[in-house]
Amino acid sequence: MQVFRCIICQGLAVSPVTTPCLHNFCFSCMKRAFKTTVSKSCPYCRQKLTDFELTTNEQLMTALRTILPG
């Protein structure tokens, strides 16, 4: 279940976002993290995310719905 966990809030990733460095976050947690910083970087490993756009990882969301229905 660790793969489905948001690194910021430690809960299940709600509307999961996966960074190019393959870390998962809730969409809302990432949005908040990006709002408070000038340069975008991964909150976990600090890799620069210059051209990264916040989009939901639909495959991960489908997997979550399959494993944890409701």
- Helix extents (H) in 25-68: 27-35, 58-67
pLDDT tops 70 at residue 70:
no
Q: pLDDT for 17-69, tens place per residue?
A: 999 999 999 999 999 988 887 788 999 999 998 888 888 999 988 988 888 87
pLDDT of residue 39: 80
Q: Residue 32: which domain range?
A: 2-67
pLDDT of residue 4: 84
What's the total number of domains in the chain? 1
The C-alpha atoms of residue 28 and residue 16 are separated, in whole angstroms, by: 9
Which is higher by pLDDT, 41 or 4?
Answer: 41
pLDDT of residue 44: 93
Please report, for the domain that includes residue 36, its CATH number: 3.30.40.10
Residue 61: other Cβ atoms inside 10 A: 16
Average pLDDT score over the chain: 88
